[in-house]
Amino acid sequence: MNRIIKVARMQLINKATFIGIPLLILASAFLVTLAIWWLVRRNGGDGVLYGGGAQAPMWYFLALGIQALTMTFPFSLGMSISRRSFYLGTVGLFSACALVLSVFYYLMGLVETATGGWGVDGRFFALQWIADNNWFVQIMFYFVLMILLFMMGFFSATIYLRWKTMGVLVLVVGLALILLAAATVITLSGNWVPIGRWMASLTAGSVTLLGTVLALALGSGSYATLRKAMA
Amino acid sequence: MSQSTAIATRELTKTYKDVRALDNINLDLEAHRIYGLLGRNGAGKTTLMSILTGQNYPDHGTALIFGHEPFEHDPTLSRICFIRESQKYPEDFKVHQAFTAAAMFFENWDEQLAQNLVQDFGLPTKRRIKKLSRGQLSAVGVIIGMASRAEITFFDEPYLGLDAVARQVFYDRLVEDFAEYPRTIVLSSHLIDEVANLLEHVIVIDKGRIVIDADAEDLRGAAVTVTGEAAKVQEFIGAATVLHRDGLGALSSVTIKTQLDADRREQAKLMGLDLSPVSLQQFVVRSALSETATATGEKTEARS
């Protein structure tokens, strides 16, 4: 347990990576969005204004998943850390960061609603589709999305670490083939309309559940792959 | 296996695709001694050390560290330090941050020793590791290895890029610190003569096999070079194992594996032959290159 926490502390030696940069990305995306909204209002635009900038840090988490592994894993082997401790410490730290950020999103959503969309009727944090749910679903939605993106990066990085370029190639081509097969089956059975209807019926809650399943699959896949990986 | 055995391997084998990196390695390393792990590039030194430190795993056989397999075993891993010659550090790490991390994971970490070594090597601790020169990078590894004071410490070609002064600093500090805090040290090197005086025991690996496993003391007088008239040299050496043979016209110079007593030395003198000692480096180079040096013969000698 002790060494797992030490791994988390090691990942935090450079605080920018896990904390500073995501906050910076979020703050810049928010301020830029606010500026644009202000310009729109000044030119007489009306109606609710939507901004997708809240997802900006999420894409950084995809890169962070890759970085956390490729930058620190070989070093952690040199620090005599087991792969298990490295995995638990790193994923644990990210989960904690993601949870704090998710709660922050939720709270900012409350502020957004209370201030009439920052005074300009804008929606940055409290997008209707998400904000209509209770607090738990809202926080879990953000949390699972962040974990999922991090795990996608982490998983592909473990595949690369273990099987190099060929491994990633097989993964990507394999994924493309599976999608192609699925599309073929749907097309031949004429099921695109029901699929479209199903997608439209998805709620934040059901997306969260799907994301959880996928994140868990990627998480256990990464763990299994990492257990026998070499620097 | 005795109480003082730090490392024990049995039939350790590792194959990469078509290369047999380690071939049936059987070793016993006692605690509190300095071992030299010598061999050419690609001989299997790093593979062996990676397996002993749980960074890699064998296809066959066992490696026990204080009686435990190190692979994924935190309590055992925490007693080991192995900084690779090609050790990677996090992209954005500065030198002092690497030391901060090492201080967390190595329980016996001595910050004062680390600071002293930083001074000795003139290492810029605020510089990013990726901006360091090869020598400075080696110094980072050496400092982590020394200051960790791990019960088993591996140094993997620690002198790469270090100048002669820095290398001497390393050897001196290592001996000083070892005297005060005895531990098991495995020094992998191909600058054999430079480290020869440090080593208590020598293990030579070639093409994945152990070719020498003997106390350094036993190896120092283990071979001799006989020089003189070719026919007389041949007569003198008789059936002794030849490690190396050089010829120039009627003269020949032959290195044989044998220990000469006073009588034999006298005999050589009477025959007009020159005897010259063989350095550890020469001995290792000759033995490793000589196909006749069979692993089994060497091992029986070392075990006895």
The model's pLDDT over A217-227, given as tens digits with 9 standing for 90+, comes to 999 999 999 99
> CA of A93: how far to CAs of A18, A26, A55, A99, A180, in Å?
9, 19, 20, 10, 36
pLDDT at residue B2 is higher than 80: no
**Domain stop point among B198, B218, B238:** B218
Contact A3 B74 (CB under 8 A): yes
**Alpha-carbon gap, residue B253 to B247, rounded angstroms:** 6
Contact B56 A227 (CB under 8 A): no
Contact between A96 and A103 under an 8 Å Cβ cutoff? The reply is no
**Which CATH number covers residue B55?**
3.40.50.300
For the residues A33-38, what does the mean pLDDT come to?
Answer: 94
Split at pLDDT 50, 70, 90, the class of A146 is very high
Same domain, B183 and B263: no
Give B21's contacts in chain A (Cβ within 8 Å): none
Contact A80 B83 (CB under 8 A): no
**Alpha-carbon gap, residue B10 to B113, rounded angstroms:** 36
**Alpha-carbon gap, residue B236 to B218, rounded angstroms:** 23
Average pLDDT of chain B, as a whole number: 90
Contact between B257 and B250 under an 8 Å Cβ cutoff? The reply is no
Domain ranges of chain A: 2-226
Same domain, B210 and B264: no
Same domain, B257 and B150: no
Percent of chain B past pLDDT 70, that is, above it, reads: 93
Residue B94's closest chain A neighbor by CA? A14
Give B72's contacts in chain A (Cβ within 8 Å): 82-84, 227
Contact B54 A6 (CB under 8 A): no
A83 → closest Cβ in B72, B88, B90: B72
Same domain, B95 and B237: no
Distance from CA of B148 to the nearest CA of A (A): 10
pLDDT at residue B269 is higher than 60: yes
Give A78's contacts in chain B (Cβ within 8 Å): 82-84, 87-88, 144
Domain containing residue B246: 221-303
Same domain, B144 and B246: no
| CA nearest neighbour of A87 among A217, A189, A222 | A222
The DSSP result for A151-218, as a single string, is HHHHHHHHHHHHHHHHHHHHHHHHHHHHHHHHHHHHHHTT-HHHHHHHHHT--HHHHHHHHHHHHHHH
| Residue B300, pLDDT score | 38
Same domain, B158 and B173: yes
Contact B72 A227 (CB under 8 A): yes
Using the structure block, give the residue that is written with the tokens 């296996």: B1
pLDDT at residue B287 is higher than 80: no
Same domain, B156 and B247: no
**Alpha-carbon gap, residue A158 to A161, rounded angstroms:** 5
DSSP B182: -
For the residues B151-168, what does the mean pLDDT come to?
Answer: 94
More confident residue, B46 or A71: B46
A14 → closest Cβ in B53, B93, B106: B93
A230 → closest Cβ in B56, B98, B102: B56
**pLDDT digit string, tens, across residues A80-125:** 999 999 999 999 999 999 999 999 999 999 999 999 999 999 999 9
A vs B: CB pairs below 8 A: 75
| Non-local CB neighbours of A64 within 8 Å, separated by 6+ positions | A17, A18, A22, A94, A150, A153
Contact A81 B105 (CB under 8 A): yes
Same domain, B43 and B140: yes
**pLDDT digit string, tens, across residues B224-265:** 999 999 999 999 998 888 988 998 888 999 999 888 889 999
More confident residue, B296 or B275: B275
pLDDT at residue B1 is higher than 60: no
Which among B88, B109, B138, B151 is the top mutation candidate for probing chain A, defined by the most A β-carbons within 10 Å of its own β-carbon?
A: B88
pLDDT at residue B77 is higher than 80: yes
Contact A78 B83 (CB under 8 A): yes
pLDDT at residue B107 is higher than 60: yes
The greatest distance separating any two alpha carbons of chain A, rounded to the nearest whole angstrom, comes to 62
Same domain, B249 and B209: no
Q: Which residues of chain A have a Cβ shorter than 8 Å from any chain B Cβ?
A: 3, 6, 9-10, 13-14, 16-17, 67, 71-72, 74-75, 77-85, 227-228, 230-231
Split at pLDDT 50, 70, 90, the class of B4 is confident
**Domain stop point among B170, B187, B218:** B218
Supply the ipTM of this predicted assembly: 0.89
Count of structural domains within chain B? 2
State the pTM of this model: 0.90
Give B78's contacts in chain A (Cβ within 8 Å): 3, 80
Distance from CA of B302 to the nearest CA of A (A): 31
Which among A79, A163, A223 is the top mutation candidate for probing chain B, defined by the most B β-carbons within 10 Å of its own β-carbon?
A: A79
Same domain, B192 and B287: no
Contact B90 A77 (CB under 8 A): no
pLDDT at residue A40 is higher than 60: yes
Split at pLDDT 50, 70, 90, the class of B91 is confident
| Residue B191, pLDDT score | 81
Average pLDDT of chain A, as a whole number: 94
Give A227's contacts in chain B (Cβ within 8 Å): 72
Same domain, B105 and B156: yes
Split at pLDDT 50, 70, 90, the class of B290 is low
**pLDDT digit string, tens, across residues A159-211:** 999 999 999 999 999 999 999 999 999 999 999 999 999 999 999 999 999 99
**Domain stop point among B218, B237, B267:** B218
| Residue B301, pLDDT score | 40
pLDDT at residue B294 is higher than 80: no
3-state SS, residue A110: helix
Split at pLDDT 50, 70, 90, the class of B289 is low
Same domain, B121 and B102: yes
Contact A71 B90 (CB under 8 A): yes
